[in-house]
Amino acid sequence: MPVSETRTLPEARVPSVRRRPVLEALAQTARDPWTIVSVLVLLGFVAMAVFASWFAGDPQAIDPANRLKAAGVVGIWGTDHLGRDVFSRAMYGARMSLVVGLSVAFLTAVPGVAIGVFAGMSRFGGAVVMRLIDAMMAIPAVLLAIALAALLQPGLLTVIIAIAIPEIPRMVRLVRSVVLSVRQQPFVDAAVSVGTRGPKLIFRHILPNTVAPVIVQATYAAASAIIASAILSFLGVGTPPDVPSWGGMMADARKFFQFYPMLMVYPGVLLSLLVLVTNVLGDRLSDALDPRKVRKRG
């Protein structure tokens, strides 16, 4: 019997454990109305971020004569306490949220998968890593993020790192648990018994099984990163104040909130909507990709 057959056979015999192929699952999710709505809204935000400079005015132009004007009087959504156009600031603000969300998802996934696979494959090293991960998880994520953001040089990169670091332990735990369960499967035993070792075992048999849960977790990480970056801006340790961001707009709006609540409402609604559609997509992906629906939040 050729080697390739011994390798494919056991895989085919454990259909309940093999997760469904990613593409097939995605195709099925794509027919769900809520998924379609979420994807469309998300694309809207992407368009808002990419084309902001085409249709929105200068978000930085200060106009002292037209401070705190109501919507429609000056600009589409009025002006803030410096006379800046709220609509164009809100449109440009989508850039910051999307950049932070995507970067954190990526920066959580890559180290998370690397460390998680290591922790799952190495008995002793895994125990050491998991102790460290437990300790990191004992520190409240928002506290860790604001401490990191305040202590490092202020800037966008700092905010992204400060938010990504507390997210990594969750990803590591998830990947490790997947690796541990995949390692028990007969197809891995079969691969090992025909001499598959080291990197080939990991890349061909272990890693493909982590793809689906990692995509789901990275989507949740993006959603919570968007909230976290708004919280950082709100507390005054976020992205630079000269770059428009929804969190920064809300921080500015605090002082005028009782008389001009709409300054808080526009960025707040956009922010919540973006996070909402990201979370809905995460849930749909989770349902589609993982029959056991592990949802790790917290």
Partner 1 sequence: MLRYAIGRVLAGIPTLLLVAVFIFSLIHLTPGDPAVLLAGDNATPSQVEQIRSRLNLDLPIWEQFGIWFGDAIQMDLGYSIYSGKPVTELILQRVEPTLVLSFVTLVMTVAIAVPLGAVAAWKANSMVDRFAMGFAVAGFSIPVFVIAYVIVYGFAVRWRLFPVQGYKWLADGWLATLHSVTLPSISLALIFAALIARVTRASVLEALSENYVRTAHAKGLGAPRILFVHALKSVGVPVVTVIGIGLATLIGGVVVTESVFNIPGIGRLTVDAITRRDYPVIQGVILFFSTALILINIVVDLSYALIDPRVRG
User: Cβ–Cβ contacts within 10 Å for residue 117, how many?
Assistant: 21
- 69, 75 contact by CB (below 8 A): yes
Q: In the set 164, 231, 249, 289, which binds partner 1 (CB under 8 A)?
A: 231
112 to 141: interface string for partner 1, x by CB under 8 A: -------------------xx-xxxxxxxx
| Least spacing, CB of residue 272 vs partner 1, in Å | 4
Cβ closest to partner 1, residue 22 vs residue 71:
71
d(CA 251, CA 245): 10
Cβ closest to partner 1, residue 209 vs residue 278:
278
Residue ranges in 138-157 that form contacts with partner 1 under rule CB under 8 A: 138-144, 146-148, 150-153
Residue ranges in 249-288 that form contacts with partner 1 under rule CB under 8 A: 250, 257-258, 261, 264, 268, 271-272, 275-276, 278-280, 283
Q: Is 228 exposed, middle or buried (0-12, 13-18, 19+ CB in 10 A)?
A: buried
- 171, 298 contact by CB (below 8 A): no
Q: In the set 125, 236, 241, 291, which binds partner 1 (CB under 8 A)?
A: 236
Q: Is 94 in the site for partner 1 (CB under 8 A)?
A: no
- 152, 158 contact by CB (below 8 A): yes
d(CA 89, CA 49): 11
- 253, 208 contact by CB (below 8 A): no
In the block, tokens 């080697």 appear at: 3
Interacting residues with partner 1 (CB under 8 A):
131-132, 134-144, 146-148, 150-153, 223, 227, 230-231, 234-237, 250, 257-258, 261, 264, 268, 271-272, 275-276, 278-280, 283, 295, 297-298
